Structure 1
Amino acid sequence: MQAIIHQLRVADGSDIPLLWFPSDGEGQCLLLLPALGIQAKLYRTLASQLSAAGHPVAIMEQRGHGTSSLRPDYRCRYSLDDMLDYDIPAALEWLEQQCPGRPLVMGGHSLGGHLTTIYAACNPRQLAGVVHLACAFPYCDDFPAAQRRLLKFLCAVIPVFKFIPGYYPGDLLGFGSRESTAMMAQWRQWALSGDFNYDKHTDLATRGAYTGPVLALEFERDGFTTEAALMRARMPFQQDRITRIRLGEAEQGDYLGHTQWARQPDGARLSIVDWLAKLVS
């Protein structure tokens, strides 16, 4: 199914692209958020499959990527706040208009999952469910030595990029893509502290105490996750409300790992559709 691209004007004047996959079915409506440095188009197959199963899906393009007109530099320093305060609320409002009266479910891959966690905590009654896709918290000490050294190196150099070249050069560093220095400075706080708070924001992940259902999908061969990092990402949720599923070759074939799973997400799709069906049964 071909996506319909909708340009969403948000409160700060920015245009945020949504890849829209409508459906003739009557299932829950989903908003999907990409991982750090990943374009929305990676999730087109998953969204198309969910749409065919009766669930309308919108994929929100991350600022600075894909069809977004924004590109981080000295003058363009968007942050997590922009996504949480402007982009996500506007996307959910638009989705509600397309699917009036239908339950809304929000999910995200990696960074998108963390944003979903925070938003759900701050708006606990808006969402009927939360989905984590390969979502592990980036706390340095939750990773083995080699990855820990990389994360600590990134934390050491991120402050420099504010001055030169004016953006975070993730393509050169092998982690993320071209990113805003303001957003990466906030990500850095997560990596050093091990909790969701950043800048002047406190108790972000527990405010409002989201108590709804959570689906946490993990993928074998994912070098960006550890058991500790996965559990840390889910700490704000009620543990008895989490459905945890680990997908391997039996469900996904060779399409595993941190991003490769999305290229042929058959196992992910089956897990999500089955979980959504149980929410209304």
Structure 2
Amino acid sequence: MAHDAADRPATEPRSTVLGLVAAGPHRIKVRAAAQEDPASPVVVLLPAMGVPARYYRPFVADLHAQGLSVVTFDMRGQGESTPPAARGVRYGYQSLIDDVDAVLDLVASLHPQAPRFLLGHSLGGQIALLHAASHPGRVQGIVLVASGSVWFRSFTGVHRLRILLGTQLVAALSTLFGYWPGHRLGFGGRQAVDLMQDWARQARTGRYRLNGSATDYEAALRTVRQPLLTVSVSGDKLAPRSSVDHLAGKAELAPRTARHYSRSAAGAASLGHFSWVRNGGELSRWIRDWIAAIAPNAASWTTSAPK
């Protein structure tokens, strides 16, 4: 089903700064496009590797138009978050998971009546699911959009070899340089060496064993019981359906709804790992309907949301 421009929000919603999250030298500015109803569900959006939160503004507007409050922030070292990744600035997946928990603390303090959901894109989806595994009960559900395992065997054909060689080369260069200079090399933005090592290890082994963490994440993932919505995207070579299935399959007890966002559903001539963000009107409806089915106060906020 195609959708024309009349289906899109006319303007971006007003965004306000909720506060700052601090961990050591790191400062993360948290923003929100909130609904007037304090009980409206809150979606906390976790960006992809190297992608600033501002890139998601069109999709934030789509979600907000569906009656959802949307919280955004930049991952460590990205966008408004400081300091940037550099030699001697160390953090990995575990630090990003801890940051999500601090953001949820802030959201809970300001929106105590609202059910909370994590929505992760690419790396953000991995972090969202790992957070849910290690912090049970903090959110009511997890949405993964264009987010899959990096394990090379979850890809098909020649892409298996490309993923394996590419991820290990990135990790090796990150170790050599003391950080990943993706802003100069055209992939992933500036990233800390520990993060790229965590990423490459999962690509090589298929398992989450994180630098600086004693948590058995593979075991923890098997205990996740929150509802899970996974969305693969047409034309996405970085997170094909096989990759999405491998990541979601780690949460074997989670009730899963799996959807595929096609060009016809989006009303777009082409889609991919990143371009879906600017063609997310129908996807935002899917997310609204999924949340409405599981949110405790769905009846009170969906009555005024567009159909």
TM-score of the superposition, structure 1-length normalised?
Answer: 0.91
Give the 3 Å change call, closer, same or farther, for CA 168–13 of structure 1 in structure 2. Answer: closer
Match of residue 187 from structure 1: 199
1:139 deviates by 0.7
Which of 252, 258, 265 is the aligned partner of 1:251? Answer: 265
Match of residue 246 from structure 2: 232
Which of 112, 117, 129 is the aligned partner of 2:124? Answer: 112
1:236 deviates by 2.6
**What is the CA deviation profile of residues 88-111 of structure 1, one whole-angstrom value per residue up to 9, with x for unaligned ones?**
111001111221122111120011
Q: Could you tell me which amino acid in structure 1 is paired with residue 70 of structure 2?
A: V
CA distance in 1, matches of 2:215, 2:291: 32
CA distance in 2, matches of 1:279, 1:161: 42
Aligned residue pair count: 279
CA distance in 1, matches of 2:181, 2:23: 28
Query: Is it true that 1:272 corresponds to 2:287 in the alignment?
Result: yes
Three-state SS of the structure 1 residue aligned to 2:258 is: strand
Does structure 1 retain, via aligned residues, the 8 Å contact 2:170–2:196? no
Does structure 1 retain, via aligned residues, the 8 Å contact 2:21–2:30? no
Give the 3 Å change call, closer, same or farther, for CA 139–215 of structure 1 in structure 2. Answer: same
Which of 16, 30, 41 is the aligned partner of 1:18? Answer: 30
CA distance in 1, matches of 2:146, 2:253: 17
**What is the CA deviation profile of residues 139-181 of structure 1, one whole-angstrom value per residue up to 9, with x for unaligned ones?**
11222344333323330342233332x3212245443122111
**What is the CA deviation profile of residues 227-249 of structure 1, one whole-angstrom value per residue up to 9, with x for unaligned ones?**
33111110232467111111112
Which of 38, 48, 53 is the aligned partner of 2:51? Answer: 38
TM-score of the superposition, structure 2-length normalised?
Answer: 0.84
Unaligned residue ranges in structure 1 (runs of 5+): none
Give the 3 Å change call, closer, same or farther, for CA 152–195 of structure 1 in structure 2. Answer: same
Which of 61, 75, 82 is the aligned partner of 1:62? Answer: 75
Bigger RCO (CA 8 Å, 6+ sep) = 2
Identity of aligned residues (%): 25
Pairing of 1:41-120 with structure 2 (within 5 A): 41-85=54-98, 87-120=99-132
Which of 15, 18, 37 is the aligned partner of 1:3? Answer: 15
More moved, 255-264 vs 213-222: 255-264
Pairing of 1:113-262 with structure 2 (within 5 A): 113-154=125-166, 155-164=168-177, 166-199=178-211, 200-207=213-220, 209-238=223-252, 241-254=255-268, 256-262=271-277
1:207 deviates by 1.9
RMSD: 2.1
Does structure 2 retain, via aligned residues, the 8 Å contact 1:19–1:40? no
1:77 deviates by 2.2
Three-state SS of the structure 1 residue aligned to 2:220 is: coil
Query: Is it true that 1:28 corresponds to 2:44 in the alignment?
Result: no
Give the 3 Å change call, closer, same or farther, for CA 240–124 of structure 1 in structure 2. Answer: closer
CA distance in 1, matches of 2:109, 2:65: 20
CA distance in 2, matches of 1:9, 1:171: 25
Give the 3 Å change call, closer, same or farther, for CA 249–161 of structure 1 in structure 2. Answer: closer
